[in-house]
Each structure stands twice: as structure tokens, then as C-alpha cells.
Structure 1
């Protein structure tokens, strides 16, 4: 039996690319993933859905997944926007938002007048030259610019192909303003530690399952977790020769990973 599957009390699941492939039609579940989630819940294992999704509020995002047949609720989701809001409140920061229109409601209780920082997420069609330049002007006008990014993914997969993610635009602002972004989504250590705390499971008893070799697998391993890479979503064969990150195992999909883990219980 697989050594990586032993002594597991909690699972952290990436969402896009592991549970479903997103797209303009709302997305399609990956074969076997709906049943795999159901089996994990029936097993008694602790479960968190860990997403860098920043194109919708958690409520809207969860409703979409429920519509695909997934057993998921808002309080089971660890996402970047709520973490960013905590930071903004703690540090009395007033953000200029460069985010998707559907994510704006997550920041409803945050003071956005006279911005003293920029928050960037996956803004999709809002990543116009004018909008990027406006964010640049806010940052470059500060004595000590503060750039908070809701992730640093390079790309993600939708049903019609790969799409540029927030990391590419974050890097442009970093370069132009000579600033280092504070990342609050994956692969930030704080993100994974928050998910583990919400489950009440130590890192050595948890497994992260993701399709992103750097943000999912590498980020989780740096927190002391085991991490698996699925061959779905944004996975590409060259990931298996990554120079720095070596998953504890590769699995064809979430269903295969769950099969092995549940056999060990």
C-alpha cells in the first residue's frame, strides 16, 4: 500500500482543476469527483476546500459547485478574499481594488476611500491597460507602496483552454513599482495554516490534493503536509520533471487518490 496515504486525518482539496474544469458555461465536474467528495465526507475524515478562486464571492462559488452535485458549504471553504479583509482591517488599510466585479461584495465592509494600498485578484476582463495603469498610479504615488495579491498563479484551465492568472499581472506591478507583493492565497504559508487550523488537524496528518505543482503541492509541502498532484486541470506532463517540487505521489484524478486513502483507514 502507498506509504503517503497512512495516518491521515484531514484532506485539503484544491477546487478548480481537481473537482471541476471551469469555463464560460459554469464548468463541468471531473469524472468521479462528485462521488469522491461524498465518500470522503462519509468516511469521517476532516475536509477543507482550498481555493484561490477570486472571480466570485464564496457564496456564489459554492452555489455553482452545489449545482454540479458537490456536497459543499461556504463554511468549508478557505479562500483568499476573507483573509485579505482580515489583513486590511488589522492594518487600517484602504484598498484600491483590481478584482473581478463578482468579487467586490466580499469587500463590502472595507473602507475604500482615499486608498493606501492595492488589492489585486483574478480580474479577468477587468485586466485592461487602463485598470492596470490606475493601480500602478496608486502604488507609485505612495512612499511605501503596499500591494496585496489574492494569489500568484501563472495560469489556470477553463473548458476552452488555459488562461493567464493573477500572478502575471501581480509581477507587472511589482516590477513597475519596485514593490514585493504580499500573497494571501496559495502558496502562502498563512493560507495553508489557516485551513489546517479550521480543520483542527496538524500538518503531518493532512494531505493536500491539487493540480498546481507550485502553489498547491509546493506550498503544502513547505507547511509540513504531504501533497499529491492530480493529472487533471492545469497539469502538464512536464510538471513531473519540476526542478524544485516533487509531489509525494501523482494520481490520475481525485477519485483515484480517495480510493487509496480510504483503503488505508
Structure 2
């Protein structure tokens, strides 16, 4: 196993899209994921499940996962609702809840009379016009409106396809009230710090594994952790590349690509002939590909390679389920990765940790 992986003392696992795909029928486990969890627990690694699940209490969520064959307990789960309750108590806030009916019991001990803030989560069918407008009226009527969001995901995957997540509705209230929400779930730094504190490890001693390049990978890296993205769940190659450029790699490649200048050029390109627009896309792609590996963890490059802080994972080792080794790190301006590195594919958590 690679040196950076051997140095890890703890793993933080996303749940939906990494261990199982949720759905109205309870969801289905991703092949090999339950066995991977058992192997991790049998190793010397500490384990924490980090989820933005806000459609059920932790107890109900864990019971569902246990029914799918996962070895998991409530005490091993870090979720947004309990974190939000701590914030509400510390700041004497009384929330108006725009959340799923099944997560309301998490707020049973919170005073909700005469609300002075709004808490929004993945409310699913409760995201009606009437409910959104009621939340808007609460916020707009406050002198100092406070909007607390249990995550900011754009969408997630269920067995019948992709679903809008809380982030889309959070942005609607932000825009209408001209405010900025306080996020207590992923990718908030406080969320990851809480999980690390519960594990008793430092950021550099932990690895986050998820299917979301922004909320899982980006959030963990901003906290100083290493992170890996799996190609299950809502992973989409083209979307991940674009999000990777904007939210993860830009801090380390500003000399190659300035976001403000890039936006100006993009708008200008929309008024140019097709050839000029293609040139802009090529410039953006080349800027991303020329970036050095980041100093905090692994990131997915547009050619499909998974780059760690020390190099590129060798796909021949991954595909055979053998020990993971690293090829030499690529420096800025040098030739692209080898074909073997370009073809790397991490299918899921089971394959990556198949040789613990």
C-alpha cells in the first residue's frame, strides 16, 4: 500500500453513493461495500461515517443501513441535524424548520416558538411553494435573518435517478433574502473537525472517501485532510472535472488560471466564432492538466487519473485488487501522465480497500 495510505490512522466514509444508493424502497448496497466496511473495522484503522443525510434521524438511518448488511452503529455517524441542534442551543436560536418530516424528532428538545431563524434540510416533498414562501417570510421579517442549512449539495443519486438536494432551495432563500446561509453539514470545516475530534486524530492522519468532488473531497481538503473520490453514486466525469477546477485545484494553480479572467474570457467566447470557444475550452483543460498534485490529498484529473499528494495511483494495481503503489509525481509543465495512469478507475470503496 502507498506510503501516504499507510500513514493514515482513520477513515471518514460518505454513505450515500459510496456504500449504497438510496431510494424509496430503502436503497441498495453498492457491490462489495458491506464487506469493505467489515475489513476496515477488522484493521487498525478508526472509522467514522460522515453523511449529509437529513431525511431521517440517525437512529432510523442506521437501522436502514443495518438492514442492508452494514456493520454500523449510531455512535459512529456524524450527521448535520445534531450539529445544527448544538448551534441552536449555543446561540439561543429558535428555528422555523423546513426539513423532512422524519428528521423533525432530532429537534425535539429545541424551542421553536416565535422563530428567529430558519433551518433548512433535504425536505423532499415538503419543498412546496407554500413551505418555501413561509420560510422566506420568516427570514425577511427578521432584523438579522439567520439561515442554517444542513448541507449545500446540488443533487444526489437514488435508485430511480438523480434528485435535487437542499443546496438548490438554500440558494433560492439566499437570493430572495439577500443573505448567506450557514452550512453545518459537508463541506463545512466545522463538520469535518467534529468528526476528527470524535475519532481523536489530526487532519493529516485521516482520509475522506466520497462521491462528491466538492462537498466530500473539497471540504475535506480545506480541512487539511487527504481525500479520494469514488466512481459510484452521483460521480459524473465531466461535472467532476469542472467542479474540481473551480473548487479544489484553483488555489494551487492561480498562476496558470485566474477565475475572474477565465469568466471574462468565457463570456467573450460566447460572442466569438465556434473555433474561438473551442480554444478557450482547450486552454481551461490544459491549465487544469498542468497543475501539480495538491499538497492535501488525492484529486481526480480530467484524464481520469487519481492524483495523490505524492503521485498517481497505478491502475494496474487497483484493477487487480493488489497493493496500491504510486508512480512518480508529475511536475507542472511536464508531459502528461502515462496511458496506464490515464486509465485509472476506482470503481468503489470495496476495490480500493480490498487488500487491507
Q: Same fold (TM over 0.5)?
A: yes
Quote the offset at 1:189 in angstroms: 0.1
Task: Summarize deviations over 1:49-75 as a string: whole Å, max 9, x none.
Answer: 000000000000000000001000000
Residues 133 and 119 from structure 1, CA distance in 2 versus in 1: closer, same or farther, beyond 3 angstroms? same
Q: Distance in 2 between matches of 1:99 and 1:259?
A: 30
Larger Rg: 2
Task: Summarize deviations over 1:62-94 as a string: whole Å, max 9, x none.
Answer: 000000010000000000000000000011100
The answer on whether the counterparts of 1:152 and 1:183 sit within 8 Å (CA) in structure 2 is yes
Question: Match of 2:11, SS?
Answer: strand
Structure 1 residues not aligned, in runs of 5+: 236-254
Question: Match of 1:256, SS?
Answer: coil
Q: Distance in 1 between matches of 2:347 and 2:151?
A: 27
Residues 177 and 134 from structure 1, CA distance in 2 versus in 1: closer, same or farther, beyond 3 angstroms? same
Residues 62 and 134 from structure 1, CA distance in 2 versus in 1: closer, same or farther, beyond 3 angstroms? same
Quote the offset at 1:8 in angstroms: 0.7
Q: Who is 2:143 aligned against?
A: 143
The answer on whether the counterparts of 2:51 and 2:79 sit within 8 Å (CA) in structure 1 is yes
Ranked by relative contact order (alpha carbons within 8 Å, sequence separation 6 or more), the top structure is 1
RMSD, aligned CA: 1.9
Q: Does 1:74 align with 2:74?
A: yes
The answer on whether the counterparts of 2:232 and 2:347 sit within 8 Å (CA) in structure 1 is no
Q: Distance in 2 between matches of 1:109 and 1:259?
A: 38
Q: Distance in 2 between matches of 1:139 and 1:133?
A: 10
Task: Summarize deviations over 1:120-163 as a string: whole Å, max 9, x none.
Answer: 00000000000000000000000110000000000000000000
Q: Distance in 2 between matches of 1:231 and 1:3?
A: 23
Q: Distance in 2 between matches of 1:191 and 1:205?
A: 17
The answer on whether the counterparts of 1:40 and 1:258 sit within 8 Å (CA) in structure 2 is no
The answer on whether the counterparts of 2:121 and 2:150 sit within 8 Å (CA) in structure 1 is yes
Residues 125 and 172 from structure 1, CA distance in 2 versus in 1: closer, same or farther, beyond 3 angstroms? same
Equivalenced residues, count: 243
Task: Summarize deviations over 1:179-217 as a string: whole Å, max 9, x none.
Answer: 110000000000000000000011101000000000000
Q: Distance in 1 between matches of 2:138 and 2:36?
A: 45
The answer on whether the counterparts of 1:36 and 1:258 sit within 8 Å (CA) in structure 2 is no
Quote the offset at 1:6 in angstroms: 2.9
Quote the offset at 1:5 in angstroms: 1.6
Residues 259 and 103 from structure 1, CA distance in 2 versus in 1: closer, same or farther, beyond 3 angstroms? closer
Q: Does 1:114 align with 2:203?
A: no
Structure 2 residues not aligned, in runs of 5+: 236-343, 350-354
Structure 1 stretches of at least 4 aligned residues deviating more than 4 Å after TM superposition: 255-260
The answer on whether the counterparts of 2:230 and 2:348 sit within 8 Å (CA) in structure 1 is no
Q: Distance in 2 between matches of 1:104 and 1:197?
A: 26
Aligned 1:220-231 pairs, distance under 5 A: 220-231=220-231
Q: Who is 1:180 aligned against?
A: 180
Q: Distance in 1 between matches of 2:161 and 2:348?
A: 29
Q: Who is 1:9 aligned against?
A: 9
Structure 1-normalised TM-score?
0.89
Q: Distance in 1 between matches of 2:8 and 2:345?
A: 16
The answer on whether the counterparts of 1:57 and 1:103 sit within 8 Å (CA) in structure 2 is yes
